[in-house]
Amino acid sequence: DAGVTQSPTHLIKTRGQHVTLRCSPISGHKSVSWYQQVLGQGPQFIFQYYEKEERGRGNFPDRFSARQFPNYSSELNVNALLLGDSALYLCASSTGQAPRVDTQYFGPGTRLTVL
Amino acid sequence: DAKTTQPNSMESNEEEPVHLPCNHSTISGTDYIHWYRQLPSQGPEYVIHGLTSNVNNRMASLAIAEDRKSSTLILHRATLRDAAVYYCILNPGTYKYIFGTGTRLKVLA
């Protein structure tokens, strides 16, 4: 079975630009979460979607937005990029039905560099 | 959000057991304890989780203190492939995982 896939693998943007990152969950998974991982730190929660509805939001500015499609894939959008947005962006999928014990399956991430 | 405290780094010799500690003194009664690890250049991967009782799976064992204020991830025989950053996470029933900086495990051949 295919795992969580993310695209693109790497991305270079300049300050002020906009970026869209994509995630395809494991087949049958209805929940997708997004995390930002700055070099040397643990991942930080950005958003969680379940059945196309936002279920949780982390402490990120409104420049960050996301959505989930009917096929449960998801997009993370970041507007007005700042140098500090340079990071590895991780997507995780899960069934969404038992949050306490569900396993989150992470993709390999998209490495975003802002110049 | 309940927080966890882990040592920044640990070393182990190959084929020896490794005990990775985690303190979570503010844990609430319904928080599950989850462990994930992140190998170099990869996303985190699930290792094990538990609530009150000790747990075993093919990857590791999880020992939970009686007062639940600490736990220990046990790798029974460390291999070079176990070199990774190990994260202890308290799951209150949402997917909003709070990752700390984790413990970087170095395995010596």
- pLDDT tens for A6-30 read 999 999 999 999 999 999 999 999 9
- A28 interface with B at CB cutoff 8 Å: no
The pLDDT assigned to B101 comes to 85
The pLDDT assigned to A88 comes to 97
The residues with which B104 forms a beta bridge, in sequence order, are: B9, B85
A100, A104, A108: residue with CB nearest B42 = A108
Residue B81 φ/ψ, nearest 5 degrees: -70, -10
The pLDDT assigned to A98 comes to 82
- A58 interface with B at CB cutoff 8 Å: yes
The tens digit of pLDDT for each residue in A34-83 reads 999 999 899 999 999 999 999 999 999 999 999 999 999 999 999 999 99
Question: Which positions of chain B have pLDDT values less than 70?
Answer: 1-2
Q: Which amino acid makes up residue A20?
A: T
Residue keyed to tokens 């014990």 = A101
Dump strand ranges (E) for chain A. Answer: 5-7, 10-13, 19-24, 31-37, 44-50, 53-57, 64-68, 74-78, 87-94, 105-106, 110-114
Angle at Cα A44 formed by Cα B67 and Cα A1, nearest 5°? 90
Residue A92 φ/ψ, nearest 5 degrees: -130, 140
- B57 interface with A at CB cutoff 8 Å: no
Contacts of A104 in chain B (CB under 8 A): 36, 44, 46, 95, 97
- A41 interface with B at CB cutoff 8 Å: yes
B44, B93, B98: residue with CB nearest A100 = B93
Contacts of B85 in chain A (CB under 8 A): 42
Nearest Cα of chain B lies from the Cα of A95 at a distance, in angstroms, of 11
A42, A107, A108: residue with CB nearest B99 = A42
Give the chain A residue nearest B92 (alpha carbons): A100
